[in-house]
Amino acid sequence: MQQKKEEVYKGFIKSSGAGPKNLRLSYLYGKRVLKMLNTVEDLISKGFFDEVASPAARAVGEERPLTPTVVGQETVLEKAWNHLMDDETKIMGLYGMGGVGKTTLLTQINNKLVDLCDTHDGVEIVIWVVVSGDIQIHKIQHRIGNKIGYKGVEWKKKKENQKALEIFNFLSKKRFVLLLDDIWRKVDLTEIGIPNPTSQNGCKIVFTTRSLGVCTSMGVHEPMEVQCLTTTDAWDLFKKKVGQNTLERHPDIPKIARKVAGACRGLPLALNVIGETMSCKKTTQEWYHAVDVLKTYAADFSDVKEKILPILKYSYDNLEGDNVKSCFLYCSLFPEDALIDKERIIDFWICEGFIDGYESKERAVNQGYEILGTLVCASLLQEGGKYDNKSYVRMHDVVREMALWIASDLEKHKGSYIVRAGVGLNEVPKVQNWQLVTRMSLVNNKIKEIHESHKCPKLTTLLLQNNRCLVSISGEFFRSMPRLVVLDLSWNVNLKVLPEQISELVSLRYLDLSESNIVSLPVGLQKLKRLMHLNLESMLCLEGFSGISNLSSLKTLKLLNFIMWPTMSLLEELERLEHLEVLTVEITSSSVLKQLLCSHRLVRCLQKLSIKYIEEESVRVLTLPSIQDLREVFIGGCGIREIMIERNTMLISPCLPHLSKVLIAGCNGLKDLTWLLFAPNLTHLSVWNSSQLEEIISLENAATVDTVPFRKLEYLHLWDLPELVSIYWSPLPFPYLNLINVQNDCQKLRKLPLDSQSCIAGEELVIEYGDEEWKEKVEWGDEATRLRFLPSCKLVLYDV
């Protein structure tokens, strides 16, 4: 047999051409033929007599076609490749939203691996399998079998467990890389027959998915996110798709084209499709029209509806449960690229009935956060704010267009969702058929007056917040909205009157009037017996407020920064609200504060407490009871000298288990804030303008408390504290600390509670300061600490 193989090999070399020019190529081809013959011999010796394709002929893998206009993936490709080549990496996950370029990235990895197949240290087999949709083991086995040479009738007849065994036996003797594209659920590799990749066998598995949850289920807890392109890379890609010839047709086209590219928000799928569509548009009028269509309703843009939205819709289709899908679609009511407050959107969902909030508000809120997590994991929402990532989410603009397209029942009922947020409207838009409208968002516009009266029998949500020119709403407007459950009129700073006809909104559950200048609340407000959520925060012009106890279904009442500061009689009314679960309130009277803190019922509801301008001797020592649900505390302009926590020895849990934000300002009698030891989940601490404060945590006062503070602290702001000497007496781990901000007069603070092991678990700590002299005088614990944190110091000056 060996002699026969050598004869075939020599014959191949001879027949391929005698010239030296072909010698190297002939040698390589001959080697590959010899390898094929060796594999055939091996199969024959093992008794594989079915119809097969030579495994070696295909086992090296196949280079896959790649679009010639790949832009902006150089960095992520290098990062992914280096991670894959690390001996410690066995399975690598690439995740990101639909159309972001995951398959393109995986294709580039495939082609680099194929290039390595002929090298001494390279992989022997590269297998590419497109999974998509429902995972069917036999189909995946069939595709892998084709790649490694198992075909024919006999192979097809084998059961899944038999195929798994044969795939396993074959791949166990090879150094392989398995590339799984577009998986939507956990893939059971053992059931398919894939050997476990280890450092010893050098095998690897790489997969792409839209779901972060799939990554963790596959055992990848630090997957690599494929993100949208930067503005520069997006423009480069768009230019290539449009073509220089089109862009140079008119001097104004490049400027307009940048707006069109900007509407794609860096999503390669949208840039490619829209760029190709615009490549034949030669006039400025056509380009301006494209901008208008993309701003108003992108589904009307050529090819968007056929080539972009259906691809993104797969993520929506894979959501489990109609309530989760409804919650997702509801997010499209917010303006483009808007930060969506998590608590706010969850309250909307509860009042709309997507989440059952009748039994327990806490349980409903927890379910809301679970849904938000599901949508983030599915790459349908993104974690939001730059400095407060946990409190906000945002929706990519192209995903938002997909949501609006679905909400209109794929354009079968195009008028059901009316969303004209942030488009500069001066009046309520014309609607073809008001009776079809279920939800309307006119947020962030310039509407001045609303006088229309329309029959809206299906309307459940009306968002009118932040129309800062709005001065009046006619009573007729509210007359024909019998199913309206959510009404948001917040941040309408010129709105001073609310019509009595609001009482006719008999189904209303959510009403937000915060940050408006309404002078008086209509008496009819008391008739809203189904109202569950009422927000009156920062209503600085309100002159009267009574009868709130008539709102018998009220569960959430927000009164922070409320000009009509709570009185004893108001507290008595609040105590009669038997369903009240959430209360935010501002207190400016020592007697009212005492009554509030003595009311076990109201204390149980407190989530945010603001104490201001109390100078009486009777509250020189403020004793806070154990408040289980308290989230935020603000104490400002008070003569308080000491804050204590009333400790109940029967309680095993901390006294303030949910307190996350504390702001102390203008409290010139305070010496320390040792009470913060009882807030283990504190994330934000700001202390300003308190001239006598010497320590944050006092060694003497903390002697009886055995706990390490600030384990979850993320932001620490210290301003104008001339006597502050110490934050804590020894170094702290600070696993989540992102920022220390020291401004104005804090010259006595020489030591920070840091050592070289602090902040090693979280993001890189930034230390902002406002005085170069302060930085120069900081005393670091040792040289390792100085070298670790001195580069993190950054001069930042604030206008105060």
pLDDT in tens, 652-703: 456 889 999 999 999 988 999 999 999 999 999 999 999 999 999 999 988 8
The DSSP H or E segment spanning 439 is: strand 439-441
Indicate if the pLDDT at residue 357 is higher than 50: yes
Residues shown for the chain? 800
- To the nearest 10 degrees (0 to 180), the angle between helices 137-148 and 160-171 is 40
Indicate if the pLDDT at residue 260 is higher than 60: yes
Tell me the pLDDT band of 472, cut-offs 50, 70 and 90: very high
Structure tokens given for 261: 């590219």
Indicate if the pLDDT at residue 569 is higher than 50: yes
Q: pTM of the predicted model, to two decimals?
A: 0.82
Indicate if the pLDDT at residue 361 is higher than 80: yes
Tell me the pLDDT band of 118, cut-offs 50, 70 and 90: low
**Cα–Cα distance measured from residue 21 to residue 320, given in angstroms and rounded to the nearest whole number:** 62
List Cα–Cα distances, 345 to 348, 365, 582, in angstroms: 5, 10, 16
Tell me the pLDDT band of 358, cut-offs 50, 70 and 90: confident
Per-residue model confidence (pLDDT) at position 190: 94
Indicate if the pLDDT at residue 649 is higher than 60: no
Indicate if the pLDDT at residue 34 is higher than 90: no
Contact 492, 464 (CB under 8 A): yes
Indicate if the pLDDT at residue 474 is higher than 90: yes
Per-residue model confidence (pLDDT) at position 762: 64
Indicate if the pLDDT at residue 618 is higher than 80: no
Per-residue model confidence (pLDDT) at position 51: 41
Tell me the pLDDT band of 17, cut-offs 50, 70 and 90: very low
Indicate if the pLDDT at residue 503 is higher than 70: yes
Q: What is the mean pLDDT of residues 149-165?
A: 89
Encode pLDDT of 450-470 as tens digits: 988 899 999 999 999 999 999
Q: What is the mean pLDDT of residues 194-203?
A: 91
**Cα–Cα distance measured from residue 785 to residue 471, given in angstroms and rounded to the nearest whole number:** 58
Per-residue model confidence (pLDDT) at position 650: 41
Encode pLDDT of 75-85 as tens digits: 899 999 999 99
Indicate if the pLDDT at residue 40 is higher than 60: no
Indicate if the pLDDT at residue 26 is higher than 50: no
Strands 392-394, 382-383: pairing is: antiparallel
Indicate if the pLDDT at residue 763 is higher than 80: no
Tell me the pLDDT band of 389, cut-offs 50, 70 and 90: low
Residue from 713, 611, 591, 720 nearest 659 by CA: 713
Q: What is the mean pLDDT of residues 205-216?
A: 94
Encode pLDDT of 622-648 as tens digits: 888 888 889 999 999 888 888 887 765
Tell me the pLDDT band of 787, cut-offs 50, 70 and 90: very high
Indicate if the pLDDT at residue 3 is higher than 60: no
Per-residue model confidence (pLDDT) at position 413: 66
Indicate if the pLDDT at residue 13 is higher than 50: no
- Of these ranges, 25-29, 99-103, 646-650, the one predicted with the greatest mean pLDDT is 99-103
Q: What is the mean pLDDT of residues 271-292?
A: 92
**Cα–Cα distance measured from residue 767 to residue 785, given in angstroms and rounded to the nearest whole number:** 13
Tell me the pLDDT band of 412, cut-offs 50, 70 and 90: low
Per-residue model confidence (pLDDT) at position 616: 72
Tell me the pLDDT band of 49, cut-offs 50, 70 and 90: very low
Q: What is the mean pLDDT of residues 721-741?
A: 95
**Cα–Cα distance measured from residue 261 to residue 275, given in angstroms and rounded to the nearest whole number:** 8
Name the more confident of 50 and 506.
506
CA geometry: angle 583, 587, 592, nearest 5 deg: 100
The DSSP H or E segment spanning 487 is: strand 486-488
Give the least confident one: 65-79, 87-101, 401-415, 620-634. 401-415
Q: Own/partner pairs for 759-763, CB < 8 Å, 24+ apart?
A: 759/733, 759/734, 759/735, 760/733, 760/735, 761/733, 761/735, 761/736, 762/734, 762/735, 762/736, 762/737, 762/738, 763/738
Half-sphere exposure of 225 (CA within 13 A, CB side): 13
Structure tokens given for 425: 């409207």
Provide the strand spans (E) within 210-249: 224-225
Indicate if the pLDDT at residue 110 is higher than 70: yes
Indicate if the pLDDT at residue 411 is higher than 90: no
Q: Is 762 exposed, middle or buried (0-12, 13-18, 19+ CB in 10 A)?
A: middle
Indicate if the pLDDT at residue 385 is higher than 70: no
Name the more confident of 650 and 653.
653
**Cα–Cα distance measured from residue 334 to residue 336, given in angstroms and rounded to the nearest whole number:** 7
Per-residue model confidence (pLDDT) at position 133: 75
Q: Own/partner pairs for 214-219, CB < 8 Å, 24+ apart?
A: 214/93, 214/95, 214/183, 214/184, 214/185, 214/186, 215/93, 215/95, 217/185, 217/186, 218/91, 218/93, 218/183, 218/186, 218/187, 219/91
Q: What is the mean pLDDT of residues 736-765?
A: 90
Indicate if the pLDDT at residue 420 is higher than 90: yes
**Cα–Cα distance measured from residue 328 to residue 325, given in angstroms and rounded to the nearest whole number:** 5
Helices and strands, number each (H, E), in the chain: 25, 28
Per-residue model confidence (pLDDT) at position 327: 97
Encode pLDDT of 318-350 as tens digits: 999 999 999 999 999 999 889 999 999 999 999
Indicate if the pLDDT at residue 550 is higher than 90: yes
Q: Is 82 exposed, middle or buried (0-12, 13-18, 19+ CB in 10 A)?
A: exposed
Residues 6 or more apart whose Cβ sits within 8 Å of residue 365: 343, 346, 350
Q: What is the mean pLDDT of residues 409-418?
A: 75
Contact 84, 49 (CB under 8 A): no
Per-residue model confidence (pLDDT) at position 21: 38
Q: State what percent of residues in the chain have pLDDT above 90.
A: 66
Average pLDDT, the chain: 87
Indicate if the pLDDT at residue 651 is higher than 80: no
